[in-house]
Chain A
Amino acid sequence: MSERRVLKAPFTDDVVRSLKAGDMVYISGTIYTARDAAHKRLVEMLADGQPMPFDFDGQAVYYAGPCPAKPGKPIGSVGPTTGGRMDAYSPTLIAEGLKVMIGKGSRSKEVVDALKQYTGVYFAAIGGAAALMAKCVKSAEVIAFDDLGTESIRRLEVEELPVIVVLDYQGNNAYERGRCEFEV
């Protein structure tokens, strides 16, 4: 492999535009975990006009519900969960300024359209490689929805979290392209 391309989170539009479906990159900086229950709550709060637990502008959410941290560790194993379950909520959050999603698996047309309209990107982390990804997390803090346990929103400081661009801001899809290339 050539030299690692490390991106700083949160993200600017210029960085998002530089990413192409299929690129493998590494993320360092601040990201937020949120999965099914947290997404449902965020979108309900938005509809009620309530303030958000963090400013979405340029930010990345990681679809992950970690294992409990062992003593002395910031977090337990923390791999991605299936992004498709967040399809119903993501376009709303992207319209609010969310720039980056990290998960695994396919997304809906509505999500692709939102990424194109607002210049966003959807990455996949490698599903199941959760012990390895825990080592990229330097600190973790629950910032909202503590009652949701593993599904609460955590602010993570990560170092070189390995991800692959699935959907770029032009709507190119690395899954479809990869599969076409190898389908017999």
Chain B
Amino acid sequence: MRTIEAEKITSLVEKLCIEACCVITDDIYSCFKNCIKTEKSALGREILGTLVENADIARNEQSPICQDTGMTVVFVTMGQEVHIEGGFIEDAINEGVRRGYTKGYLRKSVVRDPIDRVNTQDNTPAVVHYEIVPGSEFHITVAPKGFGSENKSGLKMLTPSQGIEGIKKFVIDTVSQGGPNPCPPIIVGIGIGGTMERAAYMSKKALLRPVGTENADETLRGLESELLTAINNLGIGPAGFGGTTTALSVNIITGATHIAGLPVAVNIGCHATRHAEGSL
């Protein structure tokens, strides 16, 4: 049995909230720079240049990349031999969010109830996903999610007969309908299989895969490449003003599903798809 103090979890989450919101990950930053070389629209190149400049300012001044510092999504991978001492794990995580969003001058965008819509003033509660694994590791990824892109995401329960063509059509239709709204160039997270909620979870998790890395599965690698080309052929372009850079990456995760079903979830991440991770 390994013991971890709840306070250490709080401190880690606090630090990761600020880091995720202010420092763009290297993979996305390099991708912006590469896309400036390939983008065919002059205005598109100008916009990509602005995103690089914005990322530099945010990093140097420790100010948020985007004012929508999101609803805080937290992925916890925890070994089953870990024991948390000094408080309930989810309280510790929420306290970290509270401190991070306050000390980091991040925007508080969470309302306590979807109907009465009163702001909680500290960006809690976070959406926390737990994965219990063998051993004694403890790993946290903080992925603040803005809602300009979240609102353009979608889920559909396809039937098995619709197959791969149905999947492609749903993904491309979802991106096409989003148009300029989710702040392209986007990252497209796709979850295929499972149950309804499992597909959505996989699509969110798919957004964490670094841009420029390849899917380990050959079939999915081909599908990702084909979808990326089709999405960039839509012409939406940087900030939606037309161009050849609509998506930076298409990331797919699949999972076992039912004989009668083919759930597909598409989670759109904006160009500031943020995440920061750490271990205890």
Partners in one complex: yes
What is A's interface to B at a CB cutoff of 8 Å?
A: 1, 22, 24, 37, 64-70, 76-79, 81-82, 84, 104-106, 124, 126-132, 134-135, 149-150, 162, 164, 174-175, 177-184
- Residue of B50, B63, B236, B270 touching A134 (CB-CB under 8 A): B63
Cβ B67 vs Cβ A178 within 8 A: no
Among B46, B107, B117, B181, point to the contact of A106 (Cβ < 8 A): B181
Q: How far is the CB of A167 from chain B (nearest CB, A)?
A: 12
8 A-B pairs with CB atoms under 8 Å apart are: A67-B63, A106-B179, A124-B240, A127-B66, A127-B270, A150-B119, A178-B43, A178-B235
- Name the CB-closest residue of B to A164: B241
- Nearest B residue to A67, CB-CB: B107
Complex: A82 Cα to B180 Cα, angstroms? 9
User: Does any Cβ of A come within 8 Å of B257's Cβ?
Assistant: no
Chain B positions within 8 Å of A, measured between CB atoms, are 40-41, 43, 46-47, 50-51, 53-55, 57-58, 61, 63-69, 105-109, 117, 119, 121, 148, 151, 179-181, 183, 233-237, 239-244, 270-272
The answer to whether B239 touches A131, judged by C-beta atoms less than 8 angstroms apart, is no
List 14 additional contacts besides A131-B63, A180-B235; criterion CB under 8 Å. Answer: A22-B241, A37-B117, A78-B67, A81-B148, A106-B180, A124-B240, A128-B54, A128-B66, A128-B183, A130-B65, A174-B241, A178-B240, A179-B236, A183-B235
Which of these, A22, A84, A177, A183, contacts B181 with CB under 8 Å?
A84
Q: Which residues of A contact B121 (CB under 8 A)?
A: 149
Chain A residues, CB < 8 A from B66? 77, 79, 127-128, 130
Complex interface: chain B residues within 8 A of A149 (CB): 108, 119, 121
Contacting residues, chain B, for A150 (C-beta < 8 A): 107-109, 119
Which of A70, A106, A177 is close to B63, meaning CB atoms less than 8 Å apart?
A: A70
Q: Name B's interface SS.
A: loop
| A-B interface contact total, Cβ < 8 Å | 159
Contact of B235 among A67, A84, A131, A181 (CB under 8 A): A181
Measured CA separation A29–B68 after assembly (Å): 24
Are A179 and B61 touching (Cβ within 8 A)? no
Cα A134 to Cα B60 with chains together (Å):
14
Residues of the B chain whose Cβ atoms lie less than 8 Å from the Cβ of A81:
68, 148
Residues of A within 8 A of B105 (CB): 67-70, 76
Partner of A79 from B40, B67, B108, B236 at Cβ < 8 Å: B67
From known contacts A24-B43, A82-B181, A150-B109, infer whether A64 and B67 are also in contact, taking CB-CB under 8 Å: yes
Structural contact, B235 and A77, CB atoms closer than 8 A? no
Chain A, residue nearest B60 (CB)? A131
Complex interface: chain A residues within 8 A of B43 (CB): 22, 24, 164, 178
| A-chain residues with CB within 8 Å of residue B69 when the two chains form the complex | 67
A68–B61 CA distance with the chains assembled, in angstroms: 14
A127 and B183 within 8 A (CB) = yes
Contacting residues, chain B, for A65 (C-beta < 8 A) = 67-68, 107, 109
CA distance A70 to B18 in the complex (A): 14
Point out the residues of chain B lying under 8 angstroms from A64, CB to CB. 67
Name the CB-closest residue of B to A68.
B105
